[in-house]
A = this chain, B = another copy of it.
Amino acid sequence: MNTPTLSLTIGTVAKRAGVPIDTIRFYEREGLLPEPLRRASGYRSYNETAIKQLRFIRRAKELGFTLEEIRDLLALSSDRRGGVKAIRKRAEQRLAGIEARIAELMRIRTGLQQLIEVCPGHGDPEHCPILRALADEEPQA
């Protein structure tokens, strides 16, 4: 194993994890990072683990997890029994959410494409199919 590397300052951790200092304190307040040890002066005192945790958070964010979900994942990751099952379930839920959002956006895309296709791009706004589509009344009941 490697040297324990004690007492990194928040600035060092920030640089090494690629995260602004303020964001680290923010994550701590929000319960995503454990409260670190403190020096006598009050300075936060980190070790390498903190950097790994920050990278975990960064990757999870890249995968579309909210901070709330990440807090949940972090809690589960220390649950030795059942943790894995629950984690996989969270990932599946996240996947389902993302797929739903993709489907929704594709529906929107189709709508926009159709409007653009039939719009001549000139003439009177009264005949613009984009505006007409937006303004038209609901089909009469």
The residues of A with any CB-CB pair to B shorter than 8 Å are 52, 55-56, 59-60, 62-64, 73, 76-80, 83-85, 87-88, 91-92, 94-95, 98-99, 101-102, 105-106, 108-109, 111-113, 115-116, 119-125, 127-128, 130-131, 133-135, 137-138
Contact = CB atoms under 8 A, between A and B. Distances in A.
Given A102-B109, A124-B80, A125-B80, A133 B94 contact: no
Contact of A92 (B52, B99, B108, B116): B116
B115 A62 contact: no
Given A77-B125, A105-B98, A116 B91 contact: yes
A126 to B, nearest CB: 9
Nearest to A120: B84
Contact of A105 (B52, B83, B105): B105
Contact of A55 (B77, B106, B135): B135
